[in-house]
Amino acid sequence: MDGSKTPVAAPVLILLGPPGAGKGTQARMLEETHGLVQLSTGDLLRAAVAAGTEAGQRAKAVMEAGDLVSDEIVVAILRDRLADADCAQGVILDGFPRTTVQAQALDALLQANGQRINAAISLEVDDAAMVDRISGRYNCGGCGEGYHDTFKPTAKPGVCDHCGGTEMRRRADDNAETVAQRLAAYHAQTAPLIDYYAGQGALSRIPAMGAIDQIAVALDNVVTEATA
């Protein structure tokens, strides 16, 4: 024995599910309840587009069409973000991986850091309901809190419950045509990851058509067990 301690690996959780399943909403709740950092490749890509970086310029049209941005760009963006100091407390991946190539790249990245995936959690929803869910959603431009015209309106119209901000934003790709393509991309390229993680013994499934708070309770139980 040399007295050195084995560092406790920070938890890594993955939320799987089609656009509109509630990954972002639930990931934000887990940030608060479990001290995890939400890593959304969609948010990182939108920031790259807004900043006009080379990756952002290459990703913009692909995102507007509802297709998947190349594995090369997305893996590079995620790798950089994972190296930030705050990620050492544990992460919840929202919208990544979305292809088998990305899942394999993540496995390799984590292995190199002595980490592993604690759980990949599939939010199980009915596709038909996703267009309505997505078409009504918007975010606070100040703090990012997500809302929905029908399912989660602000208490006071136009004012964020969380930070009091009044600038609300709707995503350019949250329209019916693009959503159809995003759902098709999910089924063709991302849904196979459910079997991928089942094969690793890391998969949990959560019915996610109910109320946000009920789904949060089910998710909390899975995350508590997976990070114990």
Active site (catalytic) residues: 23, 98, 137, 171, 182
User: Between residues 20 and 165, which has the closer beta carbon with respect to ligand AMP?
Assistant: 20
Write each residue from 180 to 199 as x if it is in contact with ligand AMP (CB under 6 A), else as -, in one continuous string: --x-----------------
Q: Which is nearer to ligand AMP, 97 or 165 (CB)?
A: 97
Phi, psi of 138 (to 5 degrees): -155, 165
Closest separation in Å from C-beta 38 to ligand AMP: 11
- Asked if residues 14 and 102 have their Cβ atoms less than 8 Å apart, the reply is no
* Angstrom distance (rounded) from CA 74 to CA 59: 9
| Nearer CB in complex with ligand AMP: 66/165 | 66
Stretch of residues binding ligand AMP (CB under 6 A), selected from 64-72, 151-159, 162-170, 208-216: 64-72
Note whether 74 binds ligand AMP by CB under 6 A. Answer: yes
Cβ pair 183, 19 in contact under 8 A: yes
Q: Are strands 168-169 and 137-140 parallel, antiparallel or unpaired?
A: antiparallel
User: For ligand AMP, which residue of 11, 17, 18, 19 counts as binding (CB under 6 A)?
Assistant: 19
* Among 18, 22, 90, 95, interactor with ligand AMP by CB under 6 A: 95
By the rule CB under 6 A, 66 interacts with ligand AMP: yes
Nearest to 77 by CA among 104, 53, 100: 53
Backbone angles phi, psi at 66, to 5 degrees: 85, 15
CA distance 24 to 146: 8
CB of 64 to ligand AMP, least distance (A): 8
| Among 60-68, 141-149, 192-200, 203-211, the segment contacting ligand AMP (CB under 6 A) | 60-68
CA atoms within 13 A on the CB side of 99: 13
Helices 54-65/71-82 angle, 10° precision = 120
Going by their DSSP bridges, the two strands 119-124 and 12-16 should be labelled as parallel
Minimum CB separation from ligand AMP for residue 4, in Å? Answer: 36
Of 35-43, 80-88, 118-126, 156-164, the segment contacting ligand AMP by CB under 6 A is 35-43
Q: What is the per-residue binding string for ligand AMP in 138-177, x denoting contact by CB under 6 A?
A: -----------------------------------x----
Kindly list the distances between the CA atom of residue 211 and the CA atoms of 1, 121, 152, 216, 217, in Å, as whole numbers in the listed order.
Answer: 51, 17, 10, 9, 10
Contact positions vs ligand AMP (CB under 6 A): 19, 40-42, 45, 62-63, 66-69, 74, 95-96, 98, 102, 173, 182
